[in-house]
Amino acid sequence: MSGDFKKILKHFFIPDKSSLWKLTALKKGLQIISEQKIDIIFSTSPPHSTHLIAQAVSKHSGVKWIADFRDEWIDNSLFHRSKLKENETKLELSVLNDCSHITTITNKAKQNFSQRISNDKISVIRNGYDEDDFTEIKIKEIESKNRKLKFAYAGRLNELHSPKNLFAALSNLFKSQKINPEEISFTFIGGSGNDKWLNEFPELNEIVTFIQYLQHDKMLLKLNEADVMLLLATNMNTTELFPAKMFEYFRLEKYVFAIISSLGELSDTVNEYHNSLIAIESDIEQIQLGILKILADFKNDKLKVKVDKNFIDSFQRKKQAEQLFKLFQKITAGKNE
């Protein structure tokens, strides 16, 4: 399906094109509930039409329902459908009012939702990492002797995860001979179109390399070879969107260089990890200074990572599953937080 056709569909189907299968999903959902002993309905979005389906199933069956928002709906920085916003605002409010409880992944999202429903009806359960993915990985300490400093990034590059100002900073440093290919490298893993971002900066071909998609286990092994993880959260109207890879960076016990739109909940979490440096994306000089500081610390054997195991462990999916299970128990028992 072409990108243009997808855009057309977005304007015709509220809240999204997945609403086309609402009746089919409702029928199937009610069938499952009648055939099996279902204690609770759990819907997750996006797409937000999943909540409308769960809402209908809950109303017809009487089964309690939890709505999980991985991304916000009306308060999402990418929500631009102004002519239809009034209709979607009503839809979102009906979901918030009808569900038994909602879960979301940031405190800022909870704060936004609490403007429309009781704060007691909202829980924050963050994203995280799967410990099983790291069974074959041996955490490496940074050893700077006789080798170059390696930065790495995993995931697609786009406007919300843009390397443009990073590359501009690198270009300035390269042209002024403050860095060279013998002492520093940047590797980007994943996304067939990632390399297009380097078109404006051909001088960086000696420093920046791109690797096509790798299976998740191989991607983690490749990241583990690097010294510093790149975290890009750019062009965002909110500072509360957490790149999913961040938690895997923490688990790898790597130093994190974060280039973000502005300070907020994301930067607070990165700072709580401690082994990090943050630069604001609009400040290219600050990005340059950040790179030079990390490089200098590396050369002087000062780029050491000291982790708080309890902090990292708190993002295990097992811990989050425990949170969710306890919430299920409360809701099915007729209680709310």
Per-residue pLDDT tens listing for the chain (337 residues): 555 555 555 555 565 666 667 889 999 999 999 999 899 999 999 888 999 999 999 999 999 999 999 988 888 665 555 555 678 889 999 999 999 999 999 999 999 999 999 999 999 999 999 999 999 899 887 877 768 999 999 999 998 899 999 999 999 999 999 999 999 999 999 978 899 999 999 999 999 999 988 999 999 999 999 999 999 999 876 556 788 899 999 999 999 999 999 998 999 999 999 999 999 999 999 999 999 999 999 999 999 899 999 999 999 999 999 999 999 999 999 865 4
**Does residue 119 sit in the same domain as residue 136?**
no
User: What pLDDT, on the 0 to 100 scale, is given for residue 337?
Assistant: 46
Cα gap 244→117, rounded to integer Å: 27
CATH number at residue 71: 3.40.50.2000
> 185 pairs with which residues across the strands?
150
Closest CA to 49 of 24, 70, 21, 74: 21
**Does residue 212 sit in the same domain as residue 265?**
yes
**Does residue 221 sit in the same domain as residue 328?**
no
Cα gap 218→190, rounded to integer Å: 11
User: What pLDDT, on the 0 to 100 scale, is given for residue 147?
Assistant: 87
User: What pLDDT, on the 0 to 100 scale, is given for residue 241?
Assistant: 74
Q: Peptide bond before 163: cis, by omega within 30 degrees of 0?
A: no
**Does residue 81 sit in the same domain as residue 169?**
no
Indicate whether 1 belongs to any domain. Answer: no
Cα gap 50→66, rounded to integer Å: 12
Structural contact between residues 187 and 151, judged by C-beta atoms closer than 8 angstroms = yes
**Does residue 58 sit in the same domain as residue 204?**
no
For 191: left if phi > 0, alpha if psi spans -120 to 50, otherwise beta; the answer is left
Indicate the number of domains in the chain.
2
**Does residue 117 sit in the same domain as residue 68?**
yes
Q: What's the length of the chain?
A: 337
User: What pLDDT, on the 0 to 100 scale, is given for residue 243?
Assistant: 83
Structure-token pair, residue 131 = 């410990």
Cα gap 234→194, rounded to integer Å: 15
Lay out the sheet containing 40-45: strands in order across: 40-45, 64-69, 101-104, 122-124
User: What pLDDT, on the 0 to 100 scale, is given for residue 32?
Assistant: 96
Cα gap 201→164, rounded to integer Å: 9
Cα gap 165→174, rounded to integer Å: 14
**Does residue 147 sit in the same domain as residue 211?**
yes
Range of the domain at 240: 132-313
Indicate whether 186 belongs to any domain. Answer: yes
Structural contact between residues 249 and 151, judged by C-beta atoms closer than 8 angstroms = no
| Cβ partners under 8 Å of residue 77, min gap 6 | 236, 237, 238, 241
> 184 pairs with which residues across the strands?
149
Cα gap 310→324, rounded to integer Å: 19
**Does residue 136 sit in the same domain as residue 244?**
yes
**Does residue 98 sit in the same domain as residue 180?**
no
User: What pLDDT, on the 0 to 100 scale, is given for residue 201?
Assistant: 97
User: What pLDDT, on the 0 to 100 scale, is given for residue 79?
Assistant: 54
**Does residue 84 sit in the same domain as residue 204?**
no
**Does residue 211 sit in the same domain as residue 195?**
yes
User: What pLDDT, on the 0 to 100 scale, is given for residue 92?
Assistant: 93
**Does residue 155 sit in the same domain as residue 267?**
yes
